[in-house]
Amino acid sequence: MSTDPSTSSGADTPVPTCYRHPGRETYVRCTRCDRYICPECMRDASVGHQCVECVADGNKSVRRPTTTLGARVPTSDTPVVTYSLIGLCVVAYVAELASVKFFSDFLMVGKAVDQFGVPIAGVGVAEGEWWRLFTSMFLHQRPSGGSFGITHILFNMWALWALGPALERALGRWRFLALYLLSGLGGNVLLYLVDPTGSAVGASGAIFGLFGAFFIIARKFGGQVGPIVFLLVINLVITFSVPGISWEGHIGGLVTGALLALAFVYAPANRRQAVHVGASLGMLVLLVALVVVKTSQVTSGAA
């Protein structure tokens, strides 16, 4: 800190004032730019004080720490994306409880047919309702809508709460969000390819993508994989043994999540960001292309 002791040099000597607040007298200068600063504009530095602008300029040159996978270490420990996804699923569940139409308008169905197998015009992905590929991953079975009812959303939200924070910290927010959404999309795309007249709801495809990614990341960095393998095996057994469960959604999400995790984990350090973005965009393009091809087949009667 530097000061000007000449406080009694005469009436002709101007009294120094803060460069940001001209009406405030001060004799303290910024140790970096040497401008006068008042107490409100002072920021503690290793030596003396600095003004707010010099502190901001200094922070720009400081690199934020990153995780092993290249994600910036968040300034807060709160898993914002995980909690936001849980919140969206809960809000959607309340909406579908209040309106059956909300549920039917946003569930996943490729080409809707009636009980006699006659196509229903205007309903399904093949009829231009492409948003069903995304919106369905936020819906869950209604209490009277199947073998599981409310336990469907309870288990999926528990799994997201259990796995999400760790993956979000390791991958960073945008990678984690891409992993979740693309895994859910991958599950719905596989259902569309295998059974275009089938329907499904749930975050299970995205959750299975998290299972696959957690296994890949833990295996790469020497973490314990036993618990996630056990959980995955149990869920696969349930998937193929309980009627009414979309195995396509689960397997599609698992494969998509595992492939993305492989790209995230094994990307060269000097090109990590480009590979991560490229892998995410490449997966999206691939899934969209598969939907376009299948839609062409369905609409032409070749499905």
Question: Which residues belong to the active site?
Answer: 204, 250
Residues 6+ apart with CB under 8 A from 237: none
Overall size of the chain counted in residues: 303
CA distance readout (Å), 295 to 46, 189, 262, 276, 290 = 64, 11, 29, 29, 8
CB-CB neighbours of 176 under 10 Å: 26
Going by C-alpha positions, the residue among 187, 91, 85, 177 that lies closest to residue 132 is: 187
∠ CA(166), CA(172), CA(173), 5° rounding? 100
Longest dimension (CA), the chain: 102
Going by C-alpha positions, the residue among 230, 302, 220 that lies closest to residue 258 is: 220
∠ CA(43), CA(32), CA(8), 5° rounding? 85
Whether 275 and 267 have beta carbons less than 8 Å apart is answered as yes
User: For residues 190 and 198, what is the distance between their CA atoms, to the nearest angstrom?
Assistant: 11
User: For residues 49 and 29, what is the distance between their CA atoms, to the nearest angstrom?
Assistant: 8
